[in-house]
Amino acid sequence: MLSVRPADPMAIEEAAARLARGELVAFPTETVYGLGADASSGPAVAAIYRVKGRPADHPLIVHVADAAQAQWWGELGAQGLALAQAFWPGPLTLIVRRSAQAPGFACGGEPTVGLRCPAHPVALALLRAFARLGGHGVAAPSANRFGRVSPTRAAHVAADLAAHAAGALGLVLDGGPCEVGLESTIVDLSRGAPVLMRPGGVAADRIERVLGCPLLPRDAQAPRASGTLAAHYAPRTPVELVDGDALAARLAELAGQGRRAAAWCRHRPDAPGSAHWEQAEDDPALFARDLYDGLRRLDALGLDRILVERLPAGAAWDAVRDRLERAAATFAGSA
């Protein structure tokens, strides 16, 4: 049976012991809740893929207690160390060449490994407790079924994974809602020039200021990385991105087809009475924090469409825009 427990010191120690025994544990980070396993254990990592329903060639991120532990997995180099000093603990994942001693169970067949030190007291306490038991790091993707909306509350984890957890996942540490609410920024440092693989909790311009050079866009030669599939982060209800001045017409069109829709936008549209409206945040950080929770709320209404107002231009919105575009891509072309 899946147990959800407040993340007090005793529960954290129990979670570390479970990890050391090869079990899975779900825990909070500042980004989203993670589904954790001993990254050095093949069977434990395989259980992550099984419980999530995740393709075996899709790499996981290894969470570490600090930069020193990260060096066991791969050489960070001058750029990686500079970024770790500036942004760890924090929502930044660094992809580096895997060391000879580091196992590749969590790497999806890549010669690289993604590393992150999370900025959440529960996550850090768990990683340190696991290190005291001899652990080198915790592989942890988001604690939800693959391709679906990421969890930002312990209740989301239980709702998504309880039916798939038997024999593998027994404990969810409840640390409250996630502060950032979106996954980490991923930067590839494995090929010389740094590459932005995924926008996230650390803005690209802040990273570029530390490095003193621009981040290159992801290309076909880039290693596979977590959360970079074209279609991802999707609720079960189809999502459409619509310009603000076209929302009312689209809602009316759907109503004329007998379809019920929700509009998630900054200002209430002049729409049919059957439409559900939810106000969107004007601030990108607040929108990011509420994004996955909001998609889950709207999904639970059981409507036919979720219409989301297209976001303003500007780099501050890049991470939220990325997630919404991937969520909408899952249903692209649906009538």
Query: From 3.20.20.80, 3.40.50.11030, 3.50.80.10, 3.90.1150.10, which CATH number describes the 239-329 domain?
Result: 3.40.50.11030
Residue 174 · residue 5 · CB < 8 Å: yes
pLDDT of res. 220: 63
Task: Determine the Cα–Cα distance for residues 335 and 328; give it in Å rounded to an integer.
Answer: 13
Is it the case that residue 233 has pLDDT exceeding 90?
A: no
Nearest to 30 by CA among 158, 179, 176, 136: 179
3-state helix/strand/coil string of the chain: CCEEEECCHHHHHHHHHHHHCCCEEEECCCCCCEEEEECCCHHHHHHHHHHHCCCCCCCCEEECCCHHHHHHHECCHHHHHHHHHHHCCCCEEEEEEECCCCCCCCCCCCCEEEEECCCCHHHHHHHHHHHHCCCCCEECCECCCCCECCCCCHHHHHHHHHHHCCCCEEEEEECCCCCCCCCCEEEECCCCCCEEEECCCCCHHHHHHHHCCCCEECCCCCCCCCCCCCCCCECCCCEEEECHHHHHHHHHHHHHCCCCEEEEECCCCCCCCCCEEEECCCCHHHHHHHHHHHHHHHHCCCCCEEEEECCCCCHHHHHHHHHHHHHHHCCCCCC
Task: Determine the Cα–Cα distance for residues 196 and 275; give it in Å rounded to an integer.
Answer: 38
The model's pTM is 0.95
pLDDT of res. 222: 64
Is it the case that residue 332 has pLDDT exceeding 90?
A: no
* Residue 251 CB contacts under 8 Å (≥ 6 apart), including other chains: 261, 263, 269, 271, 272, 275, 307
At residue 228 the predicted structure's pLDDT band, cuts being 50, 70 and 90, is low
276: annotated binding-site residue?
Answer: no
| Each residue's pLDDT tens digit, 66-121 | 999 999 999 999 999 999 999 999 999 999 999 999 999 999 999 999 999 999 99
5: annotated binding-site residue?
Answer: no
93: annotated binding-site residue?
Answer: no
pLDDT of res. 166: 84
If one compares 95 and 226, the residue with the highest pLDDT of the two is 95
Is it the case that residue 231 has pLDDT exceeding 90?
A: no
- pLDDT above 70 coverage of the chain, percent: 95
Task: Determine the Cα–Cα distance for residues 115 and 74; give it in Å rounded to an integer.
Answer: 9
If one compares 30 and 227, the residue with the highest pLDDT of the two is 30
Task: Determine the Cα–Cα distance for residues 197 and 186; give it in Å rounded to an integer.
Answer: 5
Average pLDDT over residues 37-58: 97
Residue 310 · residue 243 · CB < 8 Å: yes
pLDDT of res. 1: 83
112: annotated binding-site residue?
Answer: yes
pLDDT of res. 275: 81
Task: Determine the Cα–Cα distance for residues 210 and 322; give it in Å rounded to an integer.
Answer: 23
Superfamily of domain 3-217: DHBP synthase (3.90.870.10)
Mean residue pLDDT of the chain comes to: 94
Dig out the tokens for 255 from the structure.
């109503």
Domain ranges in the chain are 3-217, 239-329
Work out the number of other CB atoms within 10 angstroms of the CB of residue 17. 14
31: annotated binding-site residue?
Answer: yes
54: annotated binding-site residue?
Answer: yes
At residue 288 the predicted structure's pLDDT band, cuts being 50, 70 and 90, is very high
Do the domains 3-217 and 239-329 sit in the same CATH topology, yes or no?
A: no
Task: Show the CA angle centred on residue 39, arms to residues 190 and 319, nearest 5°.
Answer: 55
* Residue 242 CB contacts under 8 Å (≥ 6 apart), including other chains: 250, 307, 308, 309, 310
226: annotated binding-site residue?
Answer: no
Average pLDDT over residues 176-189: 98
Is it the case that residue 221 has pLDDT exceeding 70?
A: no
pLDDT of res. 333: 54
Average pLDDT over residues 119-124: 99
pLDDT of res. 169: 96
At residue 246 the predicted structure's pLDDT band, cuts being 50, 70 and 90, is very high
142: annotated binding-site residue?
Answer: yes
Nearest to 60 by CA among 154, 123, 138: 138
pLDDT of res. 273: 72
pLDDT of res. 271: 73
